[in-house]
């Protein structure tokens, strides 16, 4: 439940950052964003990262050794180390540590050394010798360290939470807007911290910061370190400390107040827990133990010391409310509004569980690949450039990166494929391609040994060209090409069609049709089949094979039948010497009366397929917009005359028409679709294994596009 926010540079958190790293605070003032990092992505760290984001926190990245290159919650990149993360995200201001106590020291020290100003150490039970080492480094870097054993920190006005505290919404309401003023609460106990926050809110007392300092015996920032710091923030009107028996935090604070009263210009109210605890009794925190025979650390010693420093000490929430109200003589928001907000929150239905994809956003009459309209990609980019975009989220910065992918794809064609002879031939290209993927040991070895996923997909496309050349009996002519200057696009044409030196326009047109088919989101059966196997962590080539074999005449196979229909219309026009429109009408009328389906028409999402116009345009420019393309442009109108139905031509129909006019075997229309869709299926495979838990329940109707907003192809 994200809330209305105070601008980031106006709140207490920005003030704390400015005290430690003024240069970073200046950048935050410009960006209006406070970036955070989460270190340790086990069950708790991953879950609370999601809850922090839902509250409004900008979780910029995560750190988990061995998991670098993946993402969590679909949008949060993961790095192997904090050092690696800070290079990519230099403006991170807060890090939270969720590592086991055995590895918490090294993780925390690494984070501190990156210069991140505020570190929240959630981990508990950290050995004292490790805490000592952490504190030495924290002092050197002037880091504000909360914890260990802290539930976290929350800044309600800014809508920022770091840690595991329940959501807190008690911010000042000023003329209908969030204001920065309020009380700052510091507590050693997480449970008490939240109860105090709620108690004050019930009296209309806003909080600009709710800070868990940590419950262990040795922690990073004590009351004496923090109280004067937050008190000097101009919008803090009063400080509440929630102490407990054990240790000397409260006594040290009282001593400093007596010695340096000028550092404490505002009122303090303290609540001390453990009034009736016997000596030596552990109260839950490592620090909440009264040492037997000592004159410090007891409830009485803390109360006496604080009262000498003119601090009001209470031991009940009711007394706390009364005392704070008397000191402030004001309320910050309407109490009824607070109760209504909390009632609405608790009575609200749980949010619908969804999941996200960053790859493709399919909308009526528009397909966005990583934010780019697919029709623009078809017009301006090649297949390998599109592959790079699908895998990495952006187009390549340099031409050399695409040249490297092309080299990999071409080498994959040249490599032997000795074990295909025993595979029974089938007229179904999807079945043959899927089988070849499963038995190709070179592909399997490459996919399992190469970490760069875009290279794996490029290699896969090269192998697919070889498979198609085998299926089309074009392997001999493909192998005869020795010129290394021949482009990968030329080799695709040669492998599919078997025509040498077809001309650059013809090659570009085929590549455009392939690119038009790269992806259509996660709803097609091919994508869903790939995702199901990806979720079980099936090998790359097996999941890809499943997706490709799900491309049947029902899904993805309409292009061949559309091409055959368009050719029959053109032939009838010539035989009977009648106009194409009349021939189209007669053929469609006969087919419909016979109960036959006209393939290549209709779409479950688009009323106008966004890919059709650019493909027709490219066919025109290449000189292959002939009779079949003409029929494809009129077929929807003719169907309306015949049947009274508005069915738009889809990409299968357009590809069928163009391939027919190019005098290409109609069955290659399906091969074009499968070849292109391989790129998208690979992207979905890697996104699933890199961002989602294994063996999850795949609710395909609950997916939400979380990727880049619309942008134009340069």
Please list, in sequence order, all residues whose beta carbon lies within 8 angstroms of the beta carbon of residue 560, skipping any fewer than 6 positions away: 656, 666, 667, 668, 669, 670
CB atoms within 10 A of CB 26: 12
Residue 656 corresponds to which tokens in the numbers above? 């069928």
Phi, psi of 368 (to 5 degrees): -110, 120
pLDDT digits (tens, 9 = 90+) for 550-609: 999 888 888 999 999 999 999 999 999 999 999 999 999 998 888 888 888 988 889 899
CB atoms within 10 A of CB 654: 27
- Please give the Cα distance from 115 to 141 (Å, whole number): 7
Q: Say which CATH architecture domain 372-552+668-684 belongs to.
A: Orthogonal Bundle (1.10)
Q: 568: which DSSP letter?
A: H
* DSSP count for the chain of H helices, then E strands: 29, 21
Q: Domain 558-661 maps to which CATH number in 1.10.230.10, 3.40.50.300, 3.40.50.1970, 1.10.10.10?
A: 1.10.230.10
Phi, psi of 412 (to 5 degrees): -65, -30
- Helix intervals (H) in 21-93: 22-31, 43-55, 82-88
- Please give the Cα distance from 358 to 393 (Å, whole number): 8
Phi, psi of 469 (to 5 degrees): -65, -40
- Please give the Cα distance from 83 to 74 (Å, whole number): 22
CB atoms within 10 A of CB 568: 15
Contact yes or no for 656/562 (Cβ under 8 A): yes
- DSSP lists the bridge partners of residue 174 as 177
Q: What is the CATH number of domain 8-347?
A: 3.40.50.261
CB atoms within 10 A of CB 377: 27
> Reduced to 3 states, what is the DSSP secondary structure of residue 96?
strand
Contact yes or no for 106/134 (Cβ under 8 A): no
- In this structure, the chain runs to a length of 714
Question: DSSP 3-state helix, strand, coil percentages of the chain (rounded to 5)?
Answer: 50, 15, 35
| Residue written as token pair 């340790």 | 40
Start-end of CATH 1.10.580.10 domains in the chain:
372-552+668-684
What is the model's pLDDT at position 216? 87
**Nearest to residue 34, comparing CAs of 148, 111, 113, 118?**
118
Is 285 one of the annotated active-site residues of the chain? yes
> Reduced to 3 states, what is the DSSP secondary structure of residue 662?
coil
What is the model's pLDDT at position 279? 58
- Please give the Cα distance from 153 to 171 (Å, whole number): 15
Gap between the terminal Cα atoms of the chain: 38
- Please give the Cα distance from 283 to 298 (Å, whole number): 12
Please list, in sequence order, all residues whose beta carbon lies within 8 angstroms of the beta carbon of residue 340, skipping any fewer than 6 positions away: none
Task: Report how far Cα 576 is from the mean position of its chain's Cα atoms.
Answer: 59
119: left (phi over 0), alpha (psi -120 to 50) or beta: beta
**Nearest to residue 177, comparing CAs of 3, 412, 428, 6?**
6
> Reduced to 3 states, what is the DSSP secondary structure of residue 370?
coil
Cα torsion at 218, 223, 224, 226 (round to 10°)? 110
- Please give the Cα distance from 385 to 358 (Å, whole number): 17
In DSSP notation, 241-289 reads: EEEESSSSHHHHHHHHHHH-GGG--S-EEEEEE-TTPPTT---SSTT--
What is the model's pLDDT at position 277? 60
Element (H, E) at 620: helix 612-622
Contact yes or no for 580/597 (Cβ under 8 A): no
The answer to whether the bond into 148 is cis (omega within 30° of 0) is: yes
Q: Which residues of the chain have pLDDT under 50?
A: 1-3, 286, 289, 291, 293
- Please give the Cα distance from 317 to 424 (Å, whole number): 80
130, burial (CB in 10 Å: exposed 0-12, middle 13-18, buried 19+): buried
**Nearest to residue 94, comparing CAs of 81, 70, 111, 106?**
111
Single out the catalytic residue among 48, 285, 520, 684. Answer: 285
Start-end of CATH 3.40.50.261 domains in the chain:
8-347
- DSSP lists the bridge partners of residue 272 as 243
Strands 144-147 and 118-121: parallel
Phi, psi of 268 (to 5 degrees): -125, 135
Please list, in sequence order, all residues whose beta carbon lies within 8 angstroms of the beta carbon of residue 11, skipping any fewer than 6 positions away: 155, 157, 158, 160, 180, 208, 235
Start-end of CATH 1.10.230.10 domains in the chain:
558-661
């Amino acid at each position: 439940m994200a809330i209305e926010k105070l601008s980031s540079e106006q709140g207490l958190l920005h003030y704390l950052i400015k005290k430690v790293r003024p240069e970073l605070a200046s950048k935050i003032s410009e960006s209006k964003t406070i970036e955070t990092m989460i270190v340790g992505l086990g069950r708790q760290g991953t879950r609370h990262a999601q809850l922090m984001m839902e509250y409004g926190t900008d979780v910029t990245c995560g750190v988990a050794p061995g998991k670098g290159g993946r993402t969590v919650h679909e949008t949060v990149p993961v790095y192997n180390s904090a050092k690696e993360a800070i290079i990519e995200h230099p403006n991170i201001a807060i890090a939270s540590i969720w590592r086991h106590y055995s590895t918490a020291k090294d993780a925390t020290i690494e984070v501190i050394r990156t210069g991140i100003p505020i570190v929240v150490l959630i981990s508990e039970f950290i050995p004292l010798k490790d805490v000592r080492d952490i504190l030495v480094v924290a002092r050197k870097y002037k880091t504000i360290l909360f914890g260990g054993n802290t539930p976290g920190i929350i800044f309600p006005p800014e809508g920022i939470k770091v840690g595991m505290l329940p959501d807190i919404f008690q911010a000042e309401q000023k003329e209908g807007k969030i204001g920065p003023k309020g009380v700052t609460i510091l507590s050693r106990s997480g449970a008490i911290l939240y109860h105090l926050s709620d108690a004050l809110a019930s009296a209309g007392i806003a909080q600009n910061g709710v800070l868990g300092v940590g419950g262990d015996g040795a922690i990073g920032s004590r009351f004496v370190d923090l109280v004067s710091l937050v008190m000097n923030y101009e919008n803090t009107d009063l400080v509440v400390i929630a102490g407990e028996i054990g240790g000397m935090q409260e006594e040290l604070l009282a001593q400093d107040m007596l010695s340096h009263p000028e550092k404490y210009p505002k009122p303090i109210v303290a609540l001390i827990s453990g009034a009736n605890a016997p000596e030596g009794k552990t109260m839950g925190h490592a620090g909440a133990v009264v040492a037997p025979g000592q004159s410090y650390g007891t409830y009485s010693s803390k109360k006496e010391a604080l009262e000498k420093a003119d601090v009001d000490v209470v031991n009940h929430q009711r007394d706390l409310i009364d005392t704070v109200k008397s000191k402030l003589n004001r309320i910050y928001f309407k109490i009824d509004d607070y109760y209504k907000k909390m009632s609405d929150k608790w009575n609200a239905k749980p949010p619908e569980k969804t999941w996200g994809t960053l790859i493709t956003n399919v909308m009526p009459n528009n397909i966005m690949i990583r934010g780019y309209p697919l029709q623009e990609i078809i017009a301006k980019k090649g297949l390998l450039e599109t592959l790079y975009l699908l895998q990495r989220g952006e187009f390549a910065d340099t031409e050399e990166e695409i040249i490297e992918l092309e080299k990999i794809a071409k080498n994959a064609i040249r490599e032997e494929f000795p074990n295909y002879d025993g595979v029974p031939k089938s007229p179904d290209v999807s079945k043959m391609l899927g089988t070849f993927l499963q038995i190709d040991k070179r592909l399997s070895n490459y996919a399992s040994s190469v970490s760069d996923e875009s290279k794996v997909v490029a290699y896969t496309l090269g192998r697919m060209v070889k498979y198609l050349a085998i299926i089309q009996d074009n392997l001999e002519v493909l192998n005869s090409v020795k010129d290394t200057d021949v482009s990968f696009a030329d080799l695709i044409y040669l492998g599919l069609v078997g025509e040498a030196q077809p001309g650059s326009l013809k090659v570009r047109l085929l590549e455009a049709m392939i690119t038009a088919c790269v992806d259509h989101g996660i709803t097609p059966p091919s994508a869903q089949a790939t995702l199901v196997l990806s979720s079980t962590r099936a090998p790359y080539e097996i999941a890809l094979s499943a997706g490709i074999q799900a491309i049947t005449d029902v899904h993805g196979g309409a292009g061949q039948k559309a091409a055959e229909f368009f050719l029959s219309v053109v032939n009838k026009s010539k035989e009977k010497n009648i106009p194409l429109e009349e021939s189209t009408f007669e053929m469609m009328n006969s087919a419909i009366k016979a109960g036959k389906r006209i393939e290549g028409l209709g779409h479950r999402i688009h009323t106008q397929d966004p890919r059709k116009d650019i493909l027709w345009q490219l066919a025109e420019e290449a000189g292959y917009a002939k009779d079949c393309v003409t029929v494809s442009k009129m077929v929807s109108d003719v169907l309306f005359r015949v049947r009274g139905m508005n069915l738009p031509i889809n990409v299968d129909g357009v590809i069928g028409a163009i391939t027919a006019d190019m005098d290409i075997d109609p069955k290659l229309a399906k091969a074009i679709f499968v070849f292109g869709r391989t790129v998208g299926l690979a992207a979905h495979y890697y996104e699933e294994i890199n961002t989602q838990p294994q063996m999850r329940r795949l609710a395909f109707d609950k997916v939400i596009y979380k990727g880049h907003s619309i942008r134009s192809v340069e």
